[in-house]
Amino acid sequence: MQRLRAKLAPYFLILPGGLWLAIFFIIPTVTMLSFSLMTGNEADGYQLTWHFQNYTDALSTYWPQFLRSLEYGAAATILGIALSYPIAYWIAFKGGKRKSTYLFLVLLPFFVSFVLRTISWQFFLSDNGLLLSPLKSMGLVSQDFHILQTTVAVVLGLTYNYLPFIVLPLYVALERVDPRVVEASSDLYAGRIATFTKVIFPLSLPGVFAGVIMNFVPAASDYVNAEILGGPNNTMIGSIIQDQALHVRDYPTATALSTVLMGGLLVGIFLYARALGTEDVLEAAAR
Amino acid sequence: MNEFDPAFLRGITQDRRSFLRAAGLVGAGAALAACGVKGAKVSPAKADDVAKFWAGKKQNGHVDFANWASYMDANHSPLKKFTSETGITVNYKEVITDDPTWYGKIQPQLAAGQPIGYDLMVVTDGIELNKLVQFGYLAPLDHKMLTNFEANAGAAFKNESFDKGNVFSVPYATGYTGIGYNPKYVKEPITSIKQLFDPKYKGKIGMMKDTQELGNFGMLLNGVNPETSTEADWKKAAATLQAQKPIVRQYVDQNYTKSLSNGDLWITMAWSGDIFQENLSNGSNLQFVVPSEGGTIWTDNMMIPKTAPNPVDALKLIDFFYRIDIAAMLTEEINYVPSVPAVKAQLLKDAQTASKSDAATFTTMASSPLVFPTDAELANLRHYVNLPNPGAEKIYQDLFLPISSG
Amino acid sequence: MTDTLPAIELVGIVKSFTSHGEIVQAVKGVDMKIAEGEFFSMLGPSGCGKTTTMRMIAGFDEPTAGEVYLHGNNVTGVPPNKRDVNMVFQSYALFPHMSVFENIAFGLNRKGIAKDEVTRRVGEMLDIVDLGGREKRKPKELSGGQQQRVALARALVNKPRALLLDEPLAALDLKLRQAMQVELKRIQREVGITFVFVTHDQGEALTMSDRIAVMSNGVVEQLGTPREIYERPATKFVAGFIGTSNLLSGTVSEVIDGHAVIAYGPEERVLVAVQNGQVIAGSEVELTVRPEKMELSANAPHGTDCAVRGTVTEVVYLGTSTNYNVRTSSGADVVVFTQNATSADDLAVRGDSIWLSWEPRHSYAIGAPS
């Protein structure tokens, strides 16, 4: 009895973690992978036939949307960093006692539902809307110029909607930069620019790293922005997966596409971490 | 972790075989879910299904009703009246945004034989309705209890092709898909689908994202009746629509009336009632036409999921909507084609007692071809494409989906 | 001091902050001259304005009024990166993402010094601070003492006109602190740069400094050599803050030959030097006497001019010395340190009636200008 208990104890100890892993990771992943190799339809059912052709079929049909999603995700991430950095920098270094108030103000719009926010952009960017109407009446842009249903609109929407995912980690990283270290830099003959490029920016890299991942992954798999702000040539892979899963109910195609997307993003993150030097980043993050 | 019993680590690392056994158990569970998924097809309905289903079912005093957005007045007056007359309370939720999504939401519960949380729902004729019927997810209706329907429903709305004899469904409202345009920008009369393909409207044209709607218009332009179309017709239509794509601004789903009134779109595929409603609520002057090539007619239908806990209450509510006064009440609000022809007379009658502005609206409505189409117009309307089996469905979707999501 | 320009000169420095809507003066008019090559300390409790004063020398804060001169040049309003002084921060403020080498080379690289020269000078500095071979480490891989030395090297390698050190030893443990005190002194001698050292530790200041400015409440209480400050505290604050001081007070009975005489009783009297005309008979004076200057005896001493009677209230044996707490006949509580050099026996036990005596030159009047 004693022996048995001693033998079983380790398994009981890993049970919570193991269950967590199984429920939230292993079972969904295995299910997804197996679905992606099935053939069949809703009426007759689906059989696991190791039909790897699902992948080649899905990819050969939808590679433009894949590529587009990665491009849009990257563009939104770069724009997002460019926009968030000054905001996060200002709050972290110049916010003083009102830091949390400013942060709250930045995040306030994001308490509104995702879809509603995106629809409000639709109004803003509309052909005769707040932005274009004055420009058109001043003759700055031609009458048939439009932003809605273009790449610009989708990327703007993605950038805006995922802004907090960059602002927050950037703010946290910048907030953690010791002001004495910044003073030390200026004491050691570094001007504002050198202090930024040599000290502040390198120290904020963990925030940039986290922000890029947290922004790029959901932005590249987003479909709401493309649906609401995009046109016929702006469909992203998220829409395709949604259509295949919910509308066409072609589970094998949907899961094959999801698997490729997941794998692609994982590889991307891995390469990105390698390029940036994960060790340095993680080291800096662990400070 | 530092003061750890080393036996723990040994237990995991050295005793690998039993660990693998445990891991295998987890894997097996996953594999079980993975080796295949059963088909949903059931054997066709039999004559005694109705009796079998309704045997022993009782009125429970409550019904949960799922409907589309803006498909009843804000006060839900017909439902209030229903409750005050029958004592049956109604929980009304406008949760349906489109058929495929709704079907995707309820299908797992229906397949598992569980209630979906609603006793009554409204689904358009088409692929999803066909599946609900085919897979045996719907309760067969007991026509003995549908006295108002039998007495008041128009002949055109009984016996529609997608559910002959109204075995599982009866219409809630009917509309058609045609062309909507904003005369502020479009300075010529619109009569033809060809005008949706006119390059002078480049960047201002809307087509519907829904593959059935989209495909229908491609076929109609090519002179094909969608209801009797073949795979070759689909391919041709897909090519036609693909060629149109460069001048299309957007493949629209729900918000297109706003775009049409604010000038983002000038001309678009549209549903009749939407245009009527937008004009009424925003004072716009949008126009709707059934094109000379023909438009499509569709019907939103009321039905009861087989797993509904309150089917008797639901059936009573269905029949309530077929009382002439209630049908008129609904039409006055939603502006779609009623299934009860007597509504026209009722509208004119209501106009006499209504306030001045309402009276004018009711009179306009009674003479509107959008709400009461003429026989000639009805003759020009086609039913949706018929997709008899899953194979055909896949072929169809693979042809048209890449157009709307390029 | 020679007639060369002072390395650092502060003229009428005032610094006020706004805190909760009220204006608070952290530094209230400080003047000081720090000579070339001097080891100068600013000593005081936290909040006395010493760090603020140093930050104004470095250029991190600008004075509300007054001027800062470095070698005769007015640098008020000049940003820190344009001032030829370097700072060693209390927490070292090393760049965590750079190696030891990169940290030390930072200032030289900013100045655009050639690469070979940078390598050579960093190497030299590594030797001076005894960190040779550790140039590739990251700061967090070093001990506290090593980090401290990197911080020192990072500042010194630039050969600044003055080095500012803000409580650099506060984070080290006692042993390391003592070793670093000696080390700092050695390095200062070696490089010959002016050191301005901020500390709240009087022992540290006394050990290392050429001169000390004792600060309190935003003003300089006393500026002098360690010996001056210790033995002749100018104010009650300095007396209390530096070491242990015995405070006596009384009414002046007469002034003889530049000394005020306070008579407590028969044979009990205390002499303290005062300036002529400053103190007259009948005025109250306060004076201090360091505990180690007092002698304790059982009988009335002969041949001394300062003697009071008292009762021993506590005896604390400390090995090399013994401390006696004594209540004098006038009611003052004083401490006497005696070396245990000759006798192993205690001079007195608790409750004994004893005499305390000292030489008049060890009494210092407080508050009176010297």
C36 φ/ψ angles, rounded to the nearest 5 degrees: -55, 130
B264 CB neighbours in chain A (<8 A) are 126-128, 146, 148-149
Q: What's the token pair of residue B66?
A: 């799922």
Write down which residue in C215, C240, C265 finishes a domain: C240
Least confident of A8-12, B152-156, B257-261, C161-165: A8-12
Secondary structure letter of residue B383 according to DSSP: P
In a domain, C1, yes or no: no
A183 CB neighbours in chain C (<8 A) are 60, 80, 87, 89, 93
- The CA distance from C73 to A234, in Å, is 65
The domain in which residue C128 lies consists of 8-240
Q: Binning pLDDT at 50, 70 and 90, where does residue B30 land?
A: very low
Strands (E) across B192-263 are located at 205-208, 248-252
The answer on pLDDT for A98 being more than 70 is yes
The pLDDT tens digits of the residues spanning C152-190 come to 999 999 999 899 999 988 888 888 888 889 888 998 998
Q: Which residue of A has its CA nearest to B254?
A: A228
Q: Tell me how many domains chain C contains.
A: 2
The answer on pLDDT for B12 being more than 50 is no
The verdict on C205 and C278 lying in the same domain is no
Quick check: do A and B touch, 3+ CB pairs under 8 A? yes
Q: How far is the alpha carbon of A213 from chain C, nearest alpha carbon, in Å?
A: 21
A199 CB neighbours in chain C (<8 A) are 95
- The CA distance from A38 to A26, in Å, is 19
Q: How far is the alpha carbon of A221 from chain B, nearest alpha carbon, in Å?
A: 15
B74 reaches A (C-beta below 8 A): no
The verdict on C138 and C13 lying in the same domain is yes
Report, as an integer, the average pLDDT of B54-64. 94
In a domain, A88, yes or no: yes
In a domain, A180, yes or no: yes
A233 CB neighbours in chain B (<8 A) are 406
The verdict on C231 and C249 lying in the same domain is no
The pLDDT tens digits of the residues spanning A143-152 come to 888 999 999 9
Q: Tell me how many domains chain A contains.
A: 1
The answer on pLDDT for B272 being more than 90 is no
In a domain, A63, yes or no: no
Question: DSSP letters of B331-380?
Answer: HHHH-SBPS-TTHHHHHHHHHHHS-HHHHHHHHHHHH-TTTS--HHHHHT
- pLDDT given at position B35: 58
Write down which residue in C208, C240, C272 finishes a domain: C240
Q: Which residue of A has its CA nearest to C151?
A: A184
Higher pLDDT residue, C348 or B193? B193
Closest CA to C205 of C188, C229, C189, C187: C229
Residues B103, B128 contacting (CB under 8 angstroms): yes
Count Cβ atoms below 10 Å from residue C119 Cβ, excluding itself.
15
Q: Binning pLDDT at 50, 70 and 90, where does residue B2 land?
A: very low
Q: How far is the alpha carbon of A188 from chain C, nearest alpha carbon, in Å?
A: 5
Subunit contact A38:B36, Cβ cutoff 8 A: yes
The pLDDT tens digits of the residues spanning C350-362 come to 889 999 999 988 8
Q: Which residue of A has its CA nearest to B104?
A: A246
Mean pLDDT, rounded, of chain C: 89
Q: What angle do CA B344, B345, B348 make, to 5 degrees?
A: 90
The verdict on C264 and C316 lying in the same domain is yes
Subunit contact A183:C111, Cβ cutoff 8 A: no
The verdict on C262 and C185 lying in the same domain is no
Subunit contact A31:B33, Cβ cutoff 8 A: yes
- Superfamily of chain region B177-296+381-404: Periplasmic binding protein-like II (3.40.190.10)
Subunit contact C111:A189, Cβ cutoff 8 A: yes
Q: Binning pLDDT at 50, 70 and 90, where does residue B153 land?
A: very high
Report, as an integer, the average pLDDT of A76-103. 93
A13 CB neighbours in chain B (<8 A) are 8
Closest CA to A220 of A77, A45, A82: A77
The pLDDT tens digits of the residues spanning A5-31 come to 888 888 888 888 888 888 888 899 999
The answer on pLDDT for B4 being more than 50 is no
Q: What is the CATH number of the domain that holds A108?
A: 1.10.3720.10
A187 CB neighbours in chain C (<8 A) are 58-60, 80-81, 86-87, 155
Of C80, C97, C140, the CB nearest to A187: C80
Question: DSSP letters of A236-278?
Answer: -HHHHHHIIIIIS--HHHHHHHHHHHHHHHHHHHHHHHHHHTH
In a domain, A45, yes or no: no
- Give burial (CB, 10 Å; 0-12/13-18/19+) of A240: buried
Count Cβ atoms below 10 Å from residue B186 Cβ, excluding itself.
18
| E strand or H helix at B287 | strand B287-289
Q: H/E/C letters for each residue in chain C?
A: CCCCCCCEEEEEEEEEEEECCEEEEEEEEEEEEECCCCEEEEECCCCCCHHHHHHHHHCCCCCCEEEEEECCEECCCCCHHHCCEEEECCCCCCCCCCCHHHHHHHHHHHCCCCHHHHHHHHHHHHHHCCCCCCCCCCHHHCCHHHHHHHHHHHHHCCCCCEEEEECCCCCCCHHHHHHHHHHHHHHHHHHCCEEEEEECCHHHHHHHCCEEEEEECCEEEEEECHHHHHHCCCCHHHHHHCCCCEEEEEEEEEEECCEEEEEEECCEEEEEECCCCCCCCCCEEEEEECHHHCEEECCCCCCCCEEEEEEEEEEEECCCEEEEEEEECCCCEEEEEEECCCCCCCCCCCCCEEEEEECHHHCEECCCCC
Residues B42, B288 contacting (CB under 8 angstroms): no
- pLDDT given at position B159: 80
Q: Which residue of C has its CA nearest to A178?
A: C93
The domain in which residue A260 lies consists of 73-285
Write down which residue in C222, C240, C258 finishes a domain: C240
The verdict on C265 and C119 lying in the same domain is no
In a domain, C2, yes or no: no
Subunit contact A185:C95, Cβ cutoff 8 A: yes
In chain B, domain spans: 49-175+298-366, 177-296+381-404
Q: Which residue of B has its CA nearest to A239?
A: B405
In a domain, C177, yes or no: yes
C107 CB neighbours in chain A (<8 A) are 188-189
Subunit contact A188:C107, Cβ cutoff 8 A: yes
Mean pLDDT, rounded, of chain B: 86
- pLDDT given at position B266: 95
Report, as an integer, the average pLDDT of C125-149. 90
The pLDDT tens digits of the residues spanning C295-327 come to 888 888 877 789 999 999 999 988 888 899 999
Residues C192, C161 contacting (CB under 8 angstroms): no
pTM comes to: 0.79
The answer on pLDDT for C136 being more than 90 is yes
- The CA distance from C230 to C244, in Å, is 10
Of B35, B248, B405, the CB nearest to A240: B405
Residues B122, B66 contacting (CB under 8 angstroms): yes
Fold match, B49-175+298-366 / B177-296+381-404? yes
Q: What is the CATH number of the domain that holds C85?
A: 3.40.50.300
Q: Which residue of C has its CA nearest to A182?
A: C93
The verdict on C39 and C167 lying in the same domain is yes
Subunit contact B34:A31, Cβ cutoff 8 A: yes
- Superfamily of chain region B49-175+298-366: Periplasmic binding protein-like II (3.40.190.10)
Least confident of A21-25, B149-153, C36-40, C53-57: A21-25
In a domain, C222, yes or no: yes
Strands (E) across B5-81 are located at 36-38, 62-68
Q: Binning pLDDT at 50, 70 and 90, where does residue B398 land?
A: confident
Which amino acid, C335? V
In a domain, C232, yes or no: yes
Q: Binning pLDDT at 50, 70 and 90, where does residue C21 land?
A: confident
A-interface mutation test, from B244, B393, B405, most A Cβ less than 10 A away: B405
B234 φ/ψ angles, rounded to the nearest 5 degrees: -65, -45
In a domain, A7, yes or no: no
- The CA distance from A259 to A59, in Å, is 11
C58 CB neighbours in chain A (<8 A) are 187
In a domain, A273, yes or no: yes
Q: Binning pLDDT at 50, 70 and 90, where does residue B1 land?
A: very low
Q: Binning pLDDT at 50, 70 and 90, where does residue A282 land?
A: low
Note every long-range contact of B102-109, with CB atoms under 8 Å and residues 24 or more positions apart, other chains counting. Answer: B102/B66, B102/B128, B103/B128, B103/B131, B103/B132, B104/A245, B104/A246, B104/A247, B104/A249, B106/B305, B107/B137, B109/B307
Of B22, B101, B390, the CB nearest to A41: B390
Burial C260-282 (b: 16+ CB within 10 A, else e): bbbebeeebbbbbbbeeeebeee
The answer on pLDDT for B33 being more than 70 is no
Q: Binning pLDDT at 50, 70 and 90, where does residue C345 land?
A: low
Strands (E) across B104-231 are located at 120-124, 169-181, 205-208
In a domain, A28, yes or no: no
Higher pLDDT residue, C223 or A141? C223
Least confident of B312-326, C224-238, C334-348: C334-348
Note every long-range contact of C77-81, with CB atoms under 8 Å and residues 24 or more positions apart, other chains counting. Answer: C79/A186, C80/A183, C80/A186, C80/A187, C81/A186, C81/A187, C81/A188, C81/A189, C81/A190, C81/A191, C81/C110
The pLDDT tens digits of the residues spanning B68-89 come to 988 888 889 999 999 999 999 9
B15 reaches A (C-beta below 8 A): yes
The verdict on C289 and C172 lying in the same domain is no
In a domain, A49, yes or no: no
Q: Binning pLDDT at 50, 70 and 90, where does residue B8 land?
A: very low
- pLDDT given at position B16: 44
